[in-house]
Amino acid sequence: MSKKYTKTQLKKFRAAILEKMEDIVADVDDIQRGINGTGEATRGASPDSVYSVHMADAGTDSHEKEKNYLLMNRESDYYKNLHIALDRIENGDFGICVICEGLIPEERLFEVPNATKCVGCKEKDKLNLL
Ligand SMILES: [Zn+2]
């Protein structure tokens, strides 16, 4: 009775995941340039999209750098999770809830590609009902 996503659907997921990974790489590149450089050149040359989104209320320079490091750590965790999601596609267990073995809805997977539980199981898990 185990349902699975079709190869075509998995290809779509894979493409979406790879896109997210590229976004992260580009983001982290920007951040690293901000950390390593004096900041002057970067700020002058590029629109401050990264700063305005993530660091709208950045005060001092050191404050800004601190946030950059935090962001990088968070992004790299997410990046690792995306890698795991790709592995799961390879292994054929992508999109399958590890608890009830039901299919995790497509929208959720596009939102959270590394999700391993369906919403129902995740909620129960949170409440320690399992
Ligand atoms: Zn489930």
In the chain (130 residues long), the average pLDDT of successive 10-residue segments reads 84 96 88 70 48 50 78 83 95 94 94 92 85
What separation in Å is there between the alpha carbon of 91 and the centre of ligand 1? 19
7-126 CATH = 1.20.120.910
Give the model's pLDDT for residue 27: 85
Give the model's pLDDT for residue 61: 74
Give the model's pLDDT for residue 83: 94
Rounded to the nearest 10 degrees, what angle do helices 7-36 and 61-91 cross at? 160
What separation in Å is there between the alpha carbon of 123 and the centre of ligand 1? 9
What separation in Å is there between the alpha carbon of 98 and the centre of ligand 1? 7
64: left (phi over 0), alpha (psi -120 to 50) or beta: alpha
Q: Are 95 and 13 in contact (CB under 8 A)?
A: yes
What separation in Å is there between the alpha carbon of 20 and the centre of ligand 1? 25
Q: Are 121 and 130 in contact (CB under 8 A)?
A: yes
What separation in Å is there between the alpha carbon of 96 and the centre of ligand 1? 8
What separation in Å is there between the alpha carbon of 74 and the centre of ligand 1? 26
Give the model's pLDDT for residue 60: 61
What separation in Å is there between the alpha carbon of 62 and the centre of ligand 1? 44
Tokens of 25: 């790489």
Give the model's pLDDT for residue 20: 93
From CA 110, how far away is CA 90, in angstroms rounded? 17
The Cα angle at residue 21 between residues 32 and 87, in degrees rounded to 5: 130
What separation in Å is there between the alpha carbon of 99 and the centre of ligand 1? 5
What separation in Å is there between the alpha carbon of 104 and the centre of ligand 1? 7
From CA 22, how far away is CA 28, in angstroms rounded? 10
Tokens of 82: 């995306």
Give the model's pLDDT for residue 18: 96
Give the model's pLDDT for residue 33: 84
Q: Are 85 and 94 in contact (CB under 8 A)?
A: yes
Q: Are 115 and 99 in contact (CB under 8 A)?
A: no
